[in-house]
Amino acid sequence: MNVVILAAGMGKRMQSALPKVLHPLAGKPLLSHVLDTARSLSASRLCVIYGHGGAAVQELLARQPEKVATALQEPQLGTGHAVMQALPELDDSVPTLILYGDVPLTTSASLRALVDVAGNDKLGILTVEQDDPFGLGRIVRENNEIVRIVEQKDATEAERAIKEINSGIMVAPTAHLKRWLAALKNNNAQGEYYLTDIVAQAVADGVRVVSAQPSAQWEVAGVNSKVQLAELERIHQRNIALKLLEQGVTLMDPARIDVRGELICGRDVTIDVGCVFEGKVELGDGVRVAAHNVIFNARILAGAQIKPFCHIEEAVVGEVSIIGPYARLRPGTVLAEDVHVGNFVEIKNGQVAAHSKANHLAYIGDATIGSRVNIGAGTITCNYDGVNKSRTVIEDDAFIGSDSQLIAPVTVGKGATLGAGTTLSKDAPAGKLTISRPRQVTIDNWSRPVKKPK
C-alpha cells in the first residue's frame, strides 16, 4: 500500500512559528503520530506533502527509520492538488491511502477496516456521523450508496443537514486515482482542486464507493488551533490512563497523569496525581510513585517507592529503594537495591551499591559508592575543577560525616570514617577516622564587644 500524508497547510490558527504538524501531542509531533500509524499498516511507500516550514519537516523525516519521500506543494491549491504532488512516488499496483498530518489519533484498526472494505478495486472513505457537521464535507448518498461529497461552502440547505461527514481519509485504487486527479477542476466556491471530487468521478466510472467508520469521533479530529490541540491531548491522555487501569495499574486520578512516551508497568503499581512520564519509563512490580513526580527515560525496579516531588532522568532505581521527597537523579545514576536518597539530594552519573543512604542535602557527581555507605547531610563530591571532571570512590561500609567535601579524584577506603566537616583532598585509608577540620578551641577571658556610647 502507498500512504500519502497531507501536511502542507500552514496552520495559521496555531499562532506559532512552528509548522502545525510539528506541534507535539503527548510529547511527539503530530506528524510522527501519523507516520507511526502508517508504519503499523506496513506501508510500502510513504510520501509526505509539505509546504510551510519545509526545512523543519524535512529534518523530522530524515530521522525516520525508513525512507520517506517528500513533495513540496507550493502554492497550496487544495487537497486534490496536494495529492497530485505525490503521484510520481506511487506504485500503481497497490492502493493509495491518504492521511492528514494534523489528524494524529486515527487507530490502525480503523484504517485497516477501511483498507479491507475497499480492497484493490473500490474507493473507500472513512466517515463519521457528527451532531455538528459544520464546515466539513458531507457524504451524499442515493439508495444508501455514496455518490459524491459536497463541501460546506458548496452545499445546498438540504445537503448541509446531512450529518455523515468526510473525515478526509480515503483509500483509492492508484491507477484510477491518477486519472481522477488529472481531471479535477477548481470551479467551486473556494477555487480549489478538491480531492473529494474524485468520488463523483469514481461513481461515473462505475467504481464502487464504500465507507468505514472509526470507533470514535476523536479518531478523525484534526488540529487547527491550540484549543483543539489541548482537547486532543486530554482525550489521548484519558485513553492512555484507561489502558493503564485495564492493565491493573492504580491511578489515584486517571485525569491527572501525563504519559509522553511509553510507560511500562508491572503488577500492583500505584501512581498518585500530577506525575509526568516522558520517553520510555519502566515501573516494576509493586512500585509506588507518589504525587508530582517527573520521570524521564528511567527504570524503577520492583518495590521501589518514589516519594513526592522528585525529578528522575535516565536513571535506574534499584529494588525496594526509597527516593525523595525532593530528590533529583540525573543521567547515569544507577542505584542498587534498598538505596535511600532523601530530600535535596542530587546524584549525577553516580553508581550506588545496595543498602547505602544519602538522606539529606547532598551532591554526588561522578562517584562510585559501595554497599552500606552512609553519606551525611551536606556532603559534596567536588567533581569539577573548572576544566575536568574527576571521580570519587567510596568503598563499602564507609561513613561520611556531615558537611564533608570530597575533592575528586579521591578514594575513601572500606569502612573508613570521615569526621564531620572534613575537606578531603587525599585518599582516606580503610578502617580509620580521617578528619581535616581545625581543633576546637575555647578562648578564656573573651568578652563580647559592647556598643560604643554616641
The residue at minimum Cβ distance from ligand UD1 is 137
144's grid cell:
444508501
* 127 is a site residue for ligand UD1 (CB under 6 A): no
DSSP code, position 103: -
Stretch that binds ligand UD1, among 28-36, 166-174, 175-183, 438-446 (CB under 6 A): 166-174
User: Is 196 one of the binding residues for ligand UD1 (CB under 6 A)?
Assistant: yes
Q: Does 288 bind ligand UD1 (CB under 6 A)?
A: no
Does 195 bind ligand UD1 (CB under 6 A)? Our answer is yes
Q: Does 9 bind ligand UD1 (CB under 6 A)?
A: yes
173 contributes a contact to ligand UD1 by CB under 6 A: no
Q: Which of 1, 3, 7, 406 binds ligand UD1 (CB under 6 A)?
A: 7
Q: For residue 199, state whether it binds ligand UD1 (rule: CB under 6 A).
A: no
Cell 546524584 locates to 347
By the rule CB under 6 A, 263 interacts with ligand UD1: no
Burial category of 122 from C-beta neighbours within 10 Å (exposed 0-12, middle 13-18, buried 19 and up)? middle
Minimal distance, residue 138 CB to ligand UD1, in Å: 8
- Considering the complex, state which of residue 14 and residue 377 has its C-beta at the smaller distance from ligand UD1: 14
Spatial separation of the C-alpha atoms in residues 322 and 341, rounded to whole Å: 6
| Half-sphere exposure at residue 99, Cβ-oriented, CA atoms within 13 angstroms | 35
The set of catalytic residues is 360
Q: Judged by CB, which is closer to ligand UD1: 222, or 318? A: 222
Residue 115 CB, nearest distance to ligand UD1 (Å)?
Answer: 19
Nearest distance from C-beta of residue 85 to ligand UD1, angstroms: 9
**Taking CB under 6 A as the rule, does residue 194 contact ligand UD1?**
yes
Under 8 Å CB-to-CB from 341, ≥6 apart: which residues? 321, 322, 323, 324, 327, 329, 335, 347, 357, 358, 359
Nearer to ligand UD1 by Cβ, of 198 and 295: the residue is 198
Q: Using the rule CB under 6 A, which residue among 1, 38, 90, 149 binds ligand UD1?
A: 149
Q: From the CB of 110, what's the least distance to ligand UD1, in Å? A: 15
Nearer to ligand UD1, 79 or 434 (CB): 79
CB atoms within 10 A of CB 447: 6
The reply to whether 8 sits near ligand UD1 by the rule CB under 6 A is yes
Q: Which residues contact 225 (CB under 8 A, 6 or more apart)?
A: 13, 14
Which of 195/408 has CB closer to ligand UD1?
A: 195
When asked if residue 222 is in the footprint of ligand UD1 (CB under 6 A), the reply is yes
Reference 146, options 119, 124, 121, 176; nearest CA is 124
Of the pair 165, 320, the CB lying nearest ligand UD1 is at 165
Strand ranges (E), 272-404: 275-283, 288-289, 294-300, 305-306, 311-313, 315-317, 322-323, 328-329, 333-335, 340-352, 357-369, 374-375, 380-382, 392-394, 399-400
Strands 410-412 and 392-394: parallel
Q: Which cell numbers in the block locate residue 226?
A: 491550540
Nearest distance, CB of residue 374 and ligand UD1, angstroms = 59
Residue 123 touches ligand UD1, criterion: CB under 6 A: no
CA-CA distance, 310 to 308, in Å (whole number)?
Answer: 6
Long-range CB contacts for residues 408-411, cutoff 8 Å, separation at least 24: 408/366, 408/367, 408/381, 408/382, 408/383
Please state, in angstroms and rounded to a whole number, the distance separating the CA atoms of residues 136 and 206: 26
Q: 190 near 77, Cβ under 8 Å?
A: no
Does 128 interact with ligand UD1 (rule: CB under 6 A)?
no
Instruction: Find the binding residues for ligand UD1 in span 61-120 (CB under 6 A).
Output: 73, 76-79, 81-82, 100-102
Closest to 182 (Cα-Cα) out of 166, 206, 198: 198
The answer to whether 6 contacts ligand UD1 (rule: CB under 6 A) is: yes
Q: State which residue, 78 or 95, has the beta carbon closest to ligand UD1.
A: 78
User: Cell match 568578652: residue?
Assistant: 447
Residues lying near ligand UD1 in the complex (CB under 6 A): 6-9, 49, 73, 76-79, 81-82, 100-102, 136-137, 149, 151, 165-168, 194-196, 222
